[in-house]
A = this chain, B = another copy of it.
Amino acid sequence: MKHRRIPKATIDRMAVYLEVLENFSRDGAELVSSDQLAKACKSNPAQIRKDLAYFGDFGIRGVGYAVESLKLAIKRALSIDGVWRCALFGAGNLGRALLGNREFVRRGFHIQAVFDCDPDKLGLRMFHLAVQSPSRLGHIVKEQDIQIGIITTPPNRAQRAANHLVEADIKGIVTFAPTRINVPDEVSLQYVDLFRTFYSLSFDISLREQEAAEEQNAD
């Protein structure tokens, strides 16, 4: 079991488990069973046990999981038990929103520098950081040992931003721009596609309405 490839879906669910564990923790629970977790996550107990077992034997048979140690184990498994140093590329509204979001720091993602191609934005202060020119990116990334780039440019600037980040030898990129970008294989890449979510919602609402209408007809 230990050395099997871990499904991407499992990784995604880990974020949910962490979130509900924080709640159990806040409520003072010391132990939690896969049943309780499943209820809180709208999942099922077998799924949860299987998911957790990919990473190790965190539970105690007949008892359940110790909340605090499970939180830590998950964080370690995802490598979010330390600090990741990030650079933001794109000093627009979305960039500002991420920079101002306290949850990022709380979860160990520290945004330490902001870049933008637009010369009008250079020097502009966003919270505690000044917007810098992309020409300084390579230097800053090296100096501050920055590992992750976050792209919040408009779609037509996203590839250029990615090129700058790759050039600066970043390890991974999260992009919020609704466009595909190309990076070398050795750079990790994740898309946050806002519209995908809205499209899913749209499809889901319409499907339900259609099903409701068909039920009417069945009378």
Q: A19-B179, A94-B97, A180-B20 are in contact. Are A197 and B192 (CB under 8 A)?
A: yes
Interface size class of A (residues with CB under 8 A): 35 or more
CA distance A79 to B49 in the complex (A): 37
The dominant DSSP class at the A interface is: helix
Q: Which residues of B contact A178 (CB under 8 A)?
A: 19, 103
Q: Which residues of B contact A109 (CB under 8 A)?
A: 198
Question: How often does this chain occur in the complex, in copies?
Answer: 2
* Complex contact B93–A101 (CB within 8 A): yes
Is A148 part of the binding interface, using a Cβ–Cβ cutoff of 8 Å? yes
Q: Which residues of B contact A195 (CB under 8 A)?
A: 15, 103, 107
**What are the 8 A-B residue pairs with the smallest beta carbon separation, nearest first?**
A79-B206, A93-B97, A15-B196, A97-B97, A94-B97, A188-B204, A93-B100, A190-B201
Q: Which residues of B contact A199 (CB under 8 A)?
A: 11, 14-15, 78, 80
Q: Which residues of B contact A203 (CB under 8 A)?
A: 11, 77-79
Q: Which residues of B contact A191 (CB under 8 A)?
A: 197
CA distance A199 to B79 in the complex (A): 8
Q: Which of A40, A155, A203, A208 has the most B CB atoms < 10 Å from its CB?
A: A203
Q: A15-B196, A84-B202, A199-B80 are in contact. Are A94 and B103 (CB under 8 A)?
A: no
Within 8 A of B (CB), among A82-101: 84, 92-94, 96-98, 100-101
CA distance A192 to B40 in the complex (A): 18
* Complex contact A79–B180 (CB within 8 A): no
